[in-house]
Structure 1
Amino acid sequence: MTKAKRRNLRLGLMFISPWIVGLVVFIGYPVVYSISLSFTRYSGMGAPTWVGAQNYITALTDPLVSKAASNTLFYAMIAVPLALVIALVLAIAMNQNVREVALYRTIFYAPSLIPAFAMSFIFIVFLNPQFGVFNQIMNVFNEGNVNLLGDPTGVKIAIVLITQFGAGNAALIFLAGLRNVPKTLYEAARVDGAGPLRQFFSITLPLLSPVILFNLITGVSGALQVFTEAYVITNGTGDPDAGALFYMMYLYRNAFGFAELGYASALAVLLFLVGLGLALAIFRFSRRLVNYDVEAS
């Protein structure tokens, strides 16, 4: 390296040093410590006791882990595709060439600014089986009261609906992707007689594939870590009938409810491995589906 390159390297490292320190202190060290803790029995008091792979053996045979994993999988299979569709529709609406588009963008994005716990409380009132607006609407059609929050499947559907109000974040990423699609392609398609639907499936979706992949990866990661909505709706228990006992909820209960920090760390490591495996699988599956070739002009 020349003297100038070494100087630029030192300056670059100096500028990014706050990020490097934050990465090591707040991410690197906790990850390493959690992995080491997963091989111990530790309550948060005293010294950890080495138990080897016992925590992992227990996790793989724990019926509540299986229940929490199945609930999380059920949630992810519904919430992630639905969130992608909603975000894409919002992005297309925000990309329309109309005078009030700035106002529409604000309205569409605003719900994602509401904290998850606040939105959960709103849904608790909305779905209340005695005086909730949902049941008042059902009574109009003589359907009677429906207690979604008291049903193992209904509570998961309610949590899926709550999380869709955060679709504005993914919609902004989709919007950036839409603005990056070359307009000349649409003009050429219209000249060839392609209608809006054909343009969407032949131009928009293929060129949005990198954005779809990104939102899919982040969506799956977020779905595996769903926690706040279930915690608020069930008051931290994961009930009714364990229907809202998601993986992160069970991990939290073991760590801070039962003081089983070693076991909770093992659960966290398993979640990390599953998330990493899913991400790698999605990347591998998407190799022939993602288009990186066309650039905006």
Structure 2
Amino acid sequence: MTVQHVASTSATSEVPKTSVWARIWQQDAPGYLFLLPWFIGFFGLTLGPMISSLYLSFTKFDLLTSPDWVGAGNYVRMFTNDPKFAASMRVTFFFVIFSVPLKLAFALGVALLLNRGMKGLPLYRALFYLPSLLGASVAIAILWRQIFAGDGLVNKFLSVFGIVGPSWISNPNYSLWTLIILAIWQFGSPMIIFLAGLRQIPQDMYEAASLDGASKWRQFWKITLPLLTPVVFFNAIIQTIEAFKSFTPAFIISGGTGNPINSTLFYTLYLYQEAFGFFRMGYASALAWVLLAIVAAFTAFSFLTSKYWVHYDD
């Protein structure tokens, strides 16, 4: 009797377990089926290539022969014996440090103007957002090169006042600044986000401040900017990552060389040269992982320091 009772108990305990797993599978199977294209894309086009790139970063690989394991040789060469790596880092950091704050400041200024409730706001919003859609295109980069050329639109405008301008894109003192101006011109995306954040600030706070005699400038520093810091934080991270990834304008304007005198040699452009110009895929993979580490370090630092200057409702 005892053996039969134990056997019957174990049998009854296994049946519900099997039915539970079957029920869970029946409930979740359609969801996983719909997610299957995403899983294929993630593992086949994102995670898989990342793992392969990490392996190749420790090898010497030229696409024609099998990868040759060199250990940390690519990274040692990068940090000790590669002047173009140092030049590309210097150019990229200069571009990020100047373009991102200026773009955010310009975007915030335009958002403050649009937030005053002017007529035709949707039209202005669309017009100001348009450069963000077109700015990274090849056509705009070509147009920008023509505008800042020696006989371009900028110098023709200066000639009206008797000023002889240089060839801005051929002069190493100005070439990078033309790309910074192009980046600032693409202010539409952060501007839209700033405008949405400004619409969330309660108007009664401004009314109370006005009754207390606070000027518009003081209201901006004491009300608008503190309550807008979460939006500033978000825009700063997104725009900084985009600035580190900037490639097309530098490639088109410099003709893919980073000249004059490597003044427009962005990190991504140098990575492209190593990978598809000299077919040093192993070294290019190492460059890509260093860029990933830099962006990750910046993002982590931003989140760690955000508690000191980002103010939420609580």
User: What is the distance in 2 between the residues matched to 1:19 and 1:170?
Assistant: 28
User: What is the distance in 2 between the residues matched to 1:216 and 1:53?
Assistant: 33
Partner of 1:205: 225
Partner of 1:125: 146
Among 36, 39, 63, which residue is 2:58 paired with?
Answer: 39
- Deviation sequence 1:102-132 (CA, Å, 0-9, x none): 2211221122222422221111111121x21
**Which amino acid letter does the alignment assign opposite residue 293 of structure 2?**
L
Partner of 1:80: 100
After TM superposition, give the deviation of residue 190 of structure 1 in Å. 2.4
Give runs of aligned pairs for residues 7-46 of structure 1, distance below 5 A. 13-46=32-65
User: SS of the residue aligned with 1:290?
Assistant: coil
**Which amino acid letter does the alignment assign opposite residue 74 of structure 1?**
F
Partner of 2:234: 214
TM-score (norm: length of structure 2):
0.86
User: What is the distance in 2 between the residues matched to 1:191 and 1:16?
Assistant: 56
Is 1:53 aligned to 2:67, yes or no?
A: no
Give runs of aligned pairs for residues 63-212 of structure 1, distance below 5 A. 63-116=83-136, 117-129=138-150, 131-212=151-232
User: What is the distance in 1 between the residues matched to 2:198 and 2:27?
Assistant: 36
Note closer, same or farther for the CA distance 1:264–1:290 as it changes in structure 2 (3 Å cut): same
User: What is the distance in 2 between the residues matched to 1:139 and 1:261?
Assistant: 47
Asked if the contact 2:57–2:286 (Cα under 8 Å) also holds between the matched residues in 1, the reply is: yes
- Deviation sequence 1:214-235 (CA, Å, 0-9, x none): 1111121112122110100011
After TM superposition, give the deviation of residue 70 of structure 1 in Å. 0.3
Structure 2 unmatched runs, 5+: 1-19
**Which amino acid letter does the alignment assign opposite residue 284 of structure 1?**
L
- Deviation sequence 1:13-70 (CA, Å, 0-9, x none): 5555544443333221221111111001111123211111001111112111000100
After TM superposition, give the deviation of residue 257 of structure 1 in Å. 0.2
Asked if the contact 1:90–1:168 (Cα under 8 Å) also holds between the matched residues in 2, the reply is: no
Is 1:251 aligned to 2:271, yes or no?
A: yes
Asked if the contact 2:135–2:182 (Cα under 8 Å) also holds between the matched residues in 1, the reply is: no
Note closer, same or farther for the CA distance 1:204–1:13 as it changes in structure 2 (3 Å cut): farther
User: What is the distance in 2 between the residues matched to 1:2 and 1:290?
Assistant: 46
- Deviation sequence 1:121-176 (CA, Å, 0-9, x none): 111111121x2121122223333231111112311000011122221011111112
User: What is the distance in 1 between the residues matched to 2:212 and 2:35?
Assistant: 50
**Which amino acid letter does the alignment assign opposite residue 66 of structure 2?**
A
TM-score (norm: length of structure 1):
0.91
Structure 1 unmatched runs, 5+: none
Q: Which has the larger radius of gyration?
A: 2
**Which amino acid letter does the alignment assign opposite residue 90 of structure 2?**
S
- Deviation sequence 1:169-210 (CA, Å, 0-9, x none): 111111121122222322322232223222211111111111
**Which amino acid letter does the alignment assign opposite residue 125 of structure 1?**
Q
User: What is the distance in 2 between the residues matched to 1:18 and 1:167?
Assistant: 34
- Deviation sequence 1:52-110 (CA, Å, 0-9, x none): 10011111121110001001111111101011111112222232212221221122112
**Which amino acid letter does the alignment assign opposite residue 70 of structure 2?**
V
